Structure 1
Amino acid sequence: MRRGAVRRRAAWRGTALASLGVLAFSGSFPATVFAMEGFDPYLVAIGRAVLAGAIALVFLAVARAPLLPPRERLGSYLVIVAGVVFGFPVFSGLALDSGASASHAAVVVGLLPAATAVCAVLRAGERPRALFWVSCGLGAVCVTAFTLSRGGGHVTGADLLLVAALVSAAAGYTEGGRLARETPGWRVISYALVVALPLTVPATAVLALTTEVRPGVASLAGFAYAGLVSMFLGFIPWYAGLATGGIARAGQTQLVQPLLTLSWAWLLLGERFGPVTVAGAFAVLACVAMTQRARS
């Protein structure tokens, strides 16, 4: 009985930690929109990793932890770098710059928990029930129907960029969740950011010198949020939650992220969205909920 109580406490603790991560991530799209008012999309995407990487170095130094990950884990950290340091920020930023609204992006990327679950299944060799795959397929159909309805019967380039963003994030989340079982979550994201610095620092310097920079209060605040919260602080409770509560259970907290992002887009950006967007968000949420339930 005592062991069961310990497991339940761990599960709830993991869920609470993951929820903090989801709350942090839900503001990423509005923050990126603000940041791009004064900075080039590539500069926002890559420059925020430099800001987060500098903070990561401070955290590692204060904790007297090694500044680089174990060599045998380098391959896993490169997957995280490709997925969440470069892939998701670059693809999502370009999608928003191409005309996709934050609310539109929230619905498409709402399929992320299901994509993460698929990556986890493939990576861990699990064999979920048929309902899992049916639910994933329904979620993909819902997203496709939504994008076609919003794009006049066509899938736009921005939609393809958003799909690339969610696939990138799913790979990075899965690999990070696996590493966080052995390494504290804050060190997992810190090592990924530090490993990326030899690429992000020179790229940021070149972009800062060759693109137009028009910093303002809103753009600087958006850039700071994207770098400090979306790229670093949010991952600390997120990876810890996945490791503590289990990827399948704690990952369910991400179901509310599209709805939170819709709220932020309305409050901060003044975006207006109709019933189609709301219906699309709830349809994706229902499908993803089924995938999580079938897998767990």
Structure 2
Amino acid sequence: MTSNETKGLWLGFLGVFIFALTLPATRLATGTVDAPQLSPWFVTWGRAALAGLLSIAYLLITRSPQPARAQRGPLLLSLAGNVVGYPLLLGWALRHVTASHAAVITALLPLATAAAAAWLMHQRARLGFWVFAALGSGLVAVYSVLRAAQMGHGFGLTWADTLLLGAVVAASLGYVAGAKVTASLGAEKVISWVCVMALPITLPGAWLTWPEQAIAPAAWLALLYVGVFSMWVGFFAWFRGLSLGGPLRVSQMQLLQPFISIVAAVPLLGESLDAMTLGFALLVVLTVFIGRRMANAPATR
């Protein structure tokens, strides 16, 4: 393995680690139903506004040209999915479920992204990919039903699980839209332009939803984390890692993300590790691993 490949793997791991802490940090920022902190609306607008202001400085320093007309459509779709849809749905869901619970559901994101790419970019995948995509979705549904019954919410999907699945769909569509212009625009510049284009929405949104009640310092620190790192710095490490180490090798680091989220929630939120959550996370990650390998192998007649 060359030095660039090794550096790429470490940068890829750093990006995954940053993204994995998004779940416990978001729950810390929003609080729970019984002890609410920052509104999920404010967290959504605030984190994107922070990233947008940093992006302005970066784009000015690098003297980046404005996106071409043909690039703005995919950037707007990425904005809708990654700036608004994913963080907003995730924030509301995390008021009702633990970060460990959310980690199992969002473990489907790599598989959902591959499915979105197959749909939007007209890429063909083997039948086995769709079989494992359905299997992974089924595992998530079973976990959600069992967890709801365990918590006394009845035998069925909870509203929070529906929000989490919506967050997965929003993020996957946003990722694929951003990927469509990455080759021409540059990976780091994609997320920066997305955040800058969102500023006319995120800055007024943050001002209008500014909290009126006292907020714990930990919630403000968590917002700072998701704004600076989850929304911005993490993408720099992740995209640079993919470039140096190769997408096929580095992208496998994503399989570690749900486990990092589950483990990090223990010291940050006081959550406990339980066998059912870890077991289902392992099974979902296994289906993602096999399914993604099949997604990269187009079917032949």
Per the normalisation by structure 1, the TM-score is: 0.90
- Which residue of structure 1 lines up, in the alignment, with residue 271 of structure 2? 271
Q: 1:96 corresponds to which letter in structure 2?
A: L
CA distance in 1, matches of 2:166, 2:12: 23
* Counterpart contact for 1:17–1:237, Cα < 8 Å: yes
CA distance in 2, matches of 1:155, 1:131: 26
- Which residue of structure 2 lines up, in the alignment, with residue 120 of structure 1? 117
- 1:20-169 alignment to 2 at 5 Å? 20-37=14-31, 38-66=37-65, 68-97=66-95, 99-152=96-149, 153-169=155-171
Kindly tell me the number of residue pairs found equivalent between the two proteins: 286
CA distance in 1, matches of 2:277, 2:142: 11
Identical columns (%): 36
- 1:123 Cα deviation from its structure 2 partner: 2.5
Q: Secondary structure at the match of 1:151?
A: helix
> Which of 186, 198, 201 pairs up with 1:196?
198
Q: Describe the superposition over 1:139-175 as per-residue Cα deviations: whole angstroms up to 9, x where unpaired.
A: 0011000000001121000000000001111111222
- Which residue of structure 1 lines up, in the alignment, with residue 280 of structure 2? 280
CA distance in 1, matches of 2:275, 2:159: 23
* Counterpart contact for 1:180–1:239, Cα < 8 Å: no
Q: Secondary structure at the match of 1:17?
A: helix
- 1:164-243 alignment to 2 at 5 Å? 164-208=166-210, 211-242=211-242
Higher deviation after alignment, 273-282 or 30-39: 30-39
Q: 1:91 corresponds to which letter in structure 2?
A: L
* Counterpart contact for 2:74–2:180, Cα < 8 Å: no
Q: Describe the superposition over 1:13-48 as per-residue Cα deviations: whole angstroms up to 9, x where unpaired.
A: 654433222111000011112212432111011111
* Counterpart contact for 2:30–2:94, Cα < 8 Å: no
* Counterpart contact for 1:177–1:243, Cα < 8 Å: no
* Counterpart contact for 1:49–1:231, Cα < 8 Å: yes
Q: Describe the superposition over 1:48-77 as per-residue Cα deviations: whole angstroms up to 9, x where unpaired.
A: 1001100111111111223x4222200010
Higher deviation after alignment, 17-26 or 248-257: 248-257
Q: Secondary structure at the match of 1:181?
A: helix
* Counterpart contact for 1:248–1:295, Cα < 8 Å: no
- 1:273 Cα deviation from its structure 2 partner: 3.5
- 1:9 Cα deviation from its structure 2 partner: 7.6
* Counterpart contact for 1:39–1:213, Cα < 8 Å: no
Q: Secondary structure at the match of 1:180?
A: helix
**Cα 1:9/1:220, change in 2 over 3 Å:** same
* Counterpart contact for 1:180–1:240, Cα < 8 Å: no
